[in-house]
Every structure is written in C-alpha cells, then in structure tokens.
Structure 1
C-alpha cells in the first residue's frame, strides 16, 4: 500500500496527529523538494526521503519498481487534494487502485473558491498544470467564472495572451498565491497587466472572471464556419451539427475523423467533453497543420493529427505497434471507398457508431450498399440560405449531403 497524504501549504506540521504520525513513521517518504523541506529531522530508524524524478513521467516507473521491493510503509506527499490535478491520479493510473490510499487535504480549488466567495455551482475549474494555456479558450463565454490551476508563475501571463488574442481583453484575473500558507497573496490584474507582471508566486491559481459581453462561439455542434481556418474542405455548420448528433459523443470516448480537412468534426467531438478524444487523419501536410491551429484556436487538447492517407491509417489499425487505437465512433467525410468503409466498420467497438457523408452519386451508391449489409439509417440533408437576388432575397440551395449512420451491434465479434 502506498499512502498518498495531502499536505496543506503550511506543511507537514499542519497535518492532523494521525496523518503526521503516518508520515513520520514511514520507511520511505516521496515528495517535492518543497514538501520534503517541511518535514522535521528524522528520529529513530533512518527514513529515506526521495524527490520525484525529473522529468516525472519518464522516471516514475523505475521509482515505483524500486519502492515495490524496498522497505514499508511508503508515504507520498502531495499538495492539497492528491486527486485534484495531483500525483494521486497518476499513481492510480500506474498501479492497482487497491494499492494506493488517498488522504486528501483541502485542495487549492476549494481554497480559491473560499477566497473569491464563489460557490462550486457558479464556477468551473481547469488544470493548466500539464495542459497548454490555449485550453482556456474552450471555456470562454460571457459572464463565466473559471479557476485555473497554474503550472508556475508564467501561467497567468500565458493565459492573458490567449484572452487578448481571443477578444477578451476586458476580463479580470485574480492570481491567488500560496493558498493556505503564511505567504498567501492576492493580485488582481487585467490581461494587459498580466502579460508583463513579474514577481508572481510560483504556486498559484488564477480566478478568471469574464465580462457579461464578449464573443460567443460556444461548444455546441455546428459552430460558425468562420471559426475554422480552411481552404474550402470544411463540413458546413448545419451538416456538421447533423454529423455530431449522429456520432453521439460521450465522455472518454474516441473518434476517428477520416479525411479530416479542417478538423471541424474532430474538434467539435472533443468540445463535447474534456475527456473526449479524436484522431484526425489527413494526408495533406498543409491541411494537417491547419487542423493543429484550429484545435488550438478552439481550446481543444484532445485532438491528435495523423498525417496519412485514409487507406493507410485504417489498414494498420489494430495490426501494429503504431496502429490507431480502437474507436468508439468513426466519421468519413471524404475519400470513402468500399474497403475503407468496411475496415472502419470492423474496427469499431461493439456499440460504436459510424457516420459517412457523401455528395457524389458514386459514393452514395457505396453507402446504400453499406446500409444493406449493416443496417442503419440513410438521410439526405438539404440546406438553403437566403441570399440577395437583385433588390430582394431568394433561397439558394447548398449541395445536398447523403448521410449513412449506423451502430455496430453488440452481438457482433470484437474488432481484430
């Protein structure tokens, strides 16, 4: 059993008696240099005190292997709540959950809410400890309150640059430093001030307040076409909304977006929930680079770009070390042929969804045949927009899209 003890900012001395004794009696204590420095001098048997490896993830497995064969008990020190963007989640992911016991302290999010007077229901939390600052863009809506867990003292400036670039220069950032310690601080900044601010504490959380008026793109399917940099290879807003509705995104699930173009389907899938992931397959290098930019502009971190042809990508799926992971849903918006459709279908998990869009008669024949083999639904999506015709308005139809959507039955065999 590894005991993970959440420690207040004031250090180990502020722990309750039973947890402090657990730490002091441990054979091995692992933690950051800051937390280890709050330990009193060891008394009695020699206690090993180990700092985390740097970089953490690449050296963590070796450290855990050493701890498994060493003396017990082992205590890990963490700041606040170890499961609140802390080491607790990482350890549970590496080990059997039954071998990790969490002892949380009041986390920085709870402390920040208390200092700001914000209830849990009126604010959101987003960790930027390991995520890029642009991830905040996915949360930018008028009047919103967000608590941002910072990686270090440079995070407020990085967030401020994203805010200004996204049109939120009137937002307010309150940098709460060293919460719960005697050095606790509070600094209110505009985005312009935060970009050049110095002397901010390394351990901080940002309370971000957005004004009641500002640009609203939102996270629902069918975002404005103008939200995406594109070269014309873009599923239009209304058609995109239909595709996402048929794909049925769910937290933690994975989408293959085959022939991704501007990446709009993958991005809107990922915007459904921070735990949604997508793989955008695009062979054109310029378009692949554009997907990366579009994902950053949307504040999405869950989209991975694979630079390959659709055929190459689906043919290696499940068959090699660099294969695409098994998807929960597949979208094919271009480049479909009979083999690609069949390979995508066989790659799906039972209960997985496939959606194919086509605008040509030849590909329409393919999806009609796919429906005959696998079932599902066919629908034709026709959109008309009012556009000027002389001094008046007239309806101008867009090219209709045929959509095949199907769910792989659970009674079918699992994908290879």
Structure 2
C-alpha cells in the first residue's frame, strides 16, 4: 500500500514553522487528526474532516486505522517519535504506509536553552504516566528532563525530590519554547511554589542530595533495607548473583515466579527502562509489598499477577528469562516454566531446602546447566566483638534453553 498517513510535528510557532514537506502533506490530506490546540491552528474555513484525540487514545488510533488508504495527516507537538503519537501509531500501522516529519523535540529545545548535552541527560515523560517513574533516575549530579502532564507536574516533582532527599536540587520549568511567550522559571525543590505555569511545559532538574540518598545504585544488589517484606526476600548478595545469572538485556521480559516482595523483578526492571517483568505471587500481603516496593523504587509499571503457579502462568506472554525463588516442589511448575521460556532464555532457580535441592539435581541431570552453592557470612556483634553469622546456604541452578 502507498503512503497514506503523515505525522507532522508542530512547534510553538504553529503552522508557520512547519517544513515545506510537512505543509504539502497537510495540504493534501482529506482528514486531519490532533489535539484541540493543533486543530485550532487550521484556517476557520477548513472543511476537511477533523479527528480530535479522545481518551483512551486507542479509540482515536482505531479511527485513523479505519481510514487506511485515505489521506490522513496527524498534527503532533514537536517530535512525534519522542514519547509521542508516532510511537503509538507505529504499533498499529507499518512504517511503509506513513511519512513522519518531526519538529525539534522539547528535549532538544531545552538543551539548547540550558547548554546541556542531550546525550548526558536522563529523559522522562510524565504525560499519562505514574510520577513514581522519577524514582528510578534519581542520583546525585543527575541532569533530568521531564515532559510535564500539565502545570501541576513541577509541584509534584518538587515534592517527590524533597521526600527522596534531593530537596536542594535545582528546578527550571521551560514554557512554550520557540514561541513569543517563551519563559523559564527557576527554583529549588524544597522551597518550590508553583507559579502560574502553562500546561505545556518541560522540567529540567539538576540533582543535589541533602544527605546520603537512598537506594540510588543501578547495579543489582540494593540494600535489603530498600524493601518492605515479611522475610521472603532474596538477600542482597544472592540477589546480585541471581540478576547476573539472569543476564537481562534491554527490552526483555522476566517472570519472577513466587516473587515474595518483588526484589528480583524490580531490580531486573531497574537495569534498563525497556526491561519488563511479571511478578507472580499468591500471598495477599506480599502482593501489597510488591506494589509498594515497585512504586518506591521507580518501576510502578511492574505487572503483578496474583495466584499460585503454575496455573497462573498459562496466559502470560512468553518470557526471555524466568526466576523461581520458591515452590520448586510444586507439581508441573518447572515443566511449565521450561516450556514457556523462549529459545535462548535463562532459567534461574534458587533452593534452600533439601527437597528443593533434589529437584534441581534431577532437572540439571535432564537439561544440563550449572549448579552453584552460595554460602554467605556476615559479620555481626557478639558482645564487644564481631563474629561471622552464616546465612542459609542457597543452591542455584542456571540453565539456558537451546
């Protein structure tokens, strides 16, 4: 099919700033889609069909798909491929059927105003997304650019920074960049009072910690104190070794079977923002621990599936890696996990009981892989002195599906 859909980026300078190619595509369209602000830029006498974005956005996307073969032009803010509508439409429509004409993104414009290198900046969108995502990119010295949902977002961000120990951080809110009403408002997180801001704004943060910030390392093995739990927690040292064995890559999906407080799934997702995970857990109180920990550690989009494996696994998307932290003696659990695992995927299982170890020895004999005995001792006070206190040893089985 020939190209029938165009996505044209528009800056604060409106249609005058659209490139010549974008203007031609807009002029040839028989239907135009966009937000109220975008459609209001068209001449009052324009009689072509207008498609206004609705909520949920999936309804509007379906309206565009139904017009396949017609000339449809989508007007978008800035770069449609930077947390924009272009990414959404490409999930439904092949690139071969569309033309994308970007304008400068808000991130590019903000870096130009602030003198920042975009390659050294953390970027985030809070448009229709949970503000807890911010928690995953907090570390001293970080420079962060955020697309705001509306004028209230800077205040929400300032409050979260203060709560997380970054109250001294500098905030700059950039409004209407590229237009005649462009403005930059600056302040400090702990004393931020939201002025009358435009809904269309971008937040720039320079992080300074008021004290030792909690739980900011990206490497696996966060302190055990980072998690709320009832004792069902893969301890820090074993957790670091387990994540190393799981070998996460960007975009991969993990099943955390018998997730406990969700530590393995959470740290898998913290390895890269494109990593996804599903935490499967049957205990109600632990489900709440998982949700709370995911929020606190910046991965609120962790998918939580209540119920006992293996029957809860049958309708889940195929994983690239599986971790089994408990329940190894449950009938058909290992069989189901192995069948579900994608080719080339890693399966890691940890055992602390003799019965669970026997299962690992049996399966290692059938499928191969490596068995490792992990014994950790921590120094703890004994009266006036220190002595070694042993943690329960863990037998770990790691196997890659051929």
User: Which among 145, 148, 154 is matched to residue 146 of structure 2?
Assistant: 148
What are the Cα deviations for residues 25-81 of structure 1, in whole angstroms up to 9, with x where unaligned? 3211111110111123446xx4223212233124421x1243226xx3211111110
Q: 1:86 aligns with which of 77, 84, 105?
A: 84
Whether 1:48 aligns to 2:82 is no
Give the CA deviation at 1:264: 0.2
Q: Which runs of 5+ in 2 are unaligned?
A: none
Aligned runs of 1:10-409 on 2, under 5 Å?
10-42=13-45, 46-61=47-62, 63-68=63-68, 72-194=70-192, 196-211=193-208, 214-217=212-215, 218-314=217-313, 317=314, 323-337=315-329, 339-409=332-402
The aligned counterpart of 1:414 is none
Q: Counterparts of 2:92 and 2:20 in 1: how far apart (Å)?
A: 30
Deviates more, 1:357-366 or 1:157-166: 157-166
Per-residue deviation, 1:247: 0.5
Contact 2:259 2:279 in 1 (8 A): yes
User: What is the CA–CA distance in structure 2 between the aligned matches of 1:276 and 1:392, rounded to whole Å?
Assistant: 44
Distance in 2 (CA, whole Å) between partners of 1:66 and 1:390 is: 75
Q: What is the TM-score with the length of structure 2 in the denominator?
A: 0.95
Q: What is the CA deviation profile of residues 180-218 of structure 1, one whole-angstrom value per residue up to 9, with x for unaligned ones?
A: 111111111222344x41421100110011016641521
**8 Å contact from structure 2 (residues 52, 60) kept in 1:** no
Deviations 1:3-36 (A, max 9, x none): 1011111111222334223313321111111011
Distance verdict in 2 for CA 1:216–1:112, change over 3 Å: same
State how far apart, in whole Å, the 2-side matches of 1:54 and 1:10 are. Answer: 26
Equivalent-residue separation in structure 2 for 1:180 and 1:379 (angstroms) = 59
Equivalent pair of 2:167/2:208 in contact (CA under 8 Å): no
Give the 3-state SS of the residue equivalent to 2:399 in structure 1.
strand
Other structure's SS at 2:66 match: helix
TM-score normalised by length of structure 1: 0.92
User: Aligned pair count?
Assistant: 396
Find the counterpart in structure 2 of residue 413 from structure 1: none
Q: Following superposition, which runs of at least 4 residues in structure 1 exceed 3 angstroms of deviation?
A: none
CA contact (8 A) 1:276 1:302 kept: no
Distance in 1, matches of 2:292 and 2:124, equals: 21
1:395, distance to aligned residue in structure 2 (A):
1.5
| CA distance in 2: counterparts of 1:18 and 1:401, whole angstroms | 62
**3-state SS of 1:57 partner:** helix
* Contact 1:6/1:78 (8 A) holds in 2: yes
2-structure distance, mates of 1:301, 1:295: 5
